[in-house]
Amino acid sequence: MSVVLVTGVAGFIGSHLAAALLARGEEVIGLDNLNSYYDPKLKQARLDHLIGRPAGFSFHRLDLADNDAVARLFQSRPDITHIAHLGAQAGVRWSLEAPFAYTAANVTGHLSVLEAARHHAPALRHMVYASTSSVYGSRMEGPFRETDPINRPASLYAATKIADEAMSSAYADLYGIPLTGLRFFTVYGPWGRPDMAYWLFTDAILKGRPVRLFNEGQMRRDFTYVDDIVAGVMAALDHPATGHRLYNIGHSQPERLLDFLDILEELLGRKAIRELVANQPGDVPNTFADTTAMRRDFGWQPSTGLRQGLGHFVTWWRGHFG
């Protein structure tokens, strides 16, 4: 059996990953600081779901940027075999408002985990961490390949994730830590993130408020259902790297925001009040994953289309908010 440390366990993707690992019989050690970037009650509700399960889950509330606290957690659990490092300050737009939250969680926090893996993880077999499609910057053409240059990040968020990839590559080479970085493409699904378009649009439509479509709705996003992301993380965890590797995980079918909104309206049975507005600084116009490497190395492929996945989200929303 594996002992998996999941950072960001109270987050959207971390909580889904922890549930899937527990369901296949792994032990999960969860870490999160439950910060208030969005409503901590949602984070607590996700955690309650995990704590309510049979044995195998423990939770540690601590800040990734506190490297001593992270080291102590590792020292108390020398049996950790895998790390799924998903804890981070996410969100492109907030990185314009609160840049130091990003360097603390994403740069210092990432280094805390790498250092703990280096010094205090004798049983470690593999560390997998979350990167992002934002590393590809403002490009119209696609699909994006892992070998493409990533030297023009469009936001500080993207810049901190590029730093994570660079630090990971150095730690894999210097200390022989098996490391895999996964670049996630616009993840959505039940228990999702309140700062993301699918959530904001649903909330606005149901409350009769205008939906703001940045870049006049012409942006394209490669929406990827959370279960497909979790399957990809687990496939990567199960195949330890030699050195450092990077993979895209995306659905490879970019959708215009306007078309995405059409589907959401149909599922909700209500029309949106559409407000077309200019682009926001930091937002990229297009995301489009080439996932050849994920398919080749892990036999992974996405299985949930946008209409089906959004349907699951709307069903969850109705159950959760009534």
| Residues catalogued as catalytic | 157
Our finding on whether 300 is near ligand NAD (CB under 6 A) is: no
Query: What whole-number distance in Å separates Cα of residue 95 and Cα of residue 101?
Result: 8
DSSP per residue, 21-48 = HHHTT-EEEEEE---SSS-HHHHHHHHH
State yes or no: residue 250 binds ligand NAD (CB under 6 A). Answer: no
Residue 129 vs 298, nearer CB to ligand NAD? 129
Out of 6, 19, 22, 33, the residue judged to bind ligand NAD by CB under 6 A: 33
Closer of 56 and 181 to ligand NAD (Cβ):
181
Cα distance between residue 228 and residue 205, in whole Å: 27
Residue 88 interacts with ligand NAD (CB under 6 A)?
yes
One residue of 2, 5, 11, 237 binding ligand NAD per CB under 6 A: 11
The span from the CA of 61 to the CA of 8, in Å, is: 10
DSSP-assigned letter for residue 136: G
- The CA dihedral of 301, 307, 310, 312, to the nearest 10 degrees, is -80
* Region from 31-39, 115-123, 141-149, 254-262 binding ligand NAD, contact rule CB under 6 A: 31-39
3-state class (DSSP) for residue 128: strand
Site string for ligand NAD, 167-186 (x = CB under 6 A): -----------------x-x
**Residue 15 C-beta: closest distance to ligand NAD, Å:** 8
* Binding interface with ligand NAD (CB under 6 A): 8, 10-14, 32-35, 43, 63-65, 86-90, 105, 109, 130, 132, 184, 186-187, 193
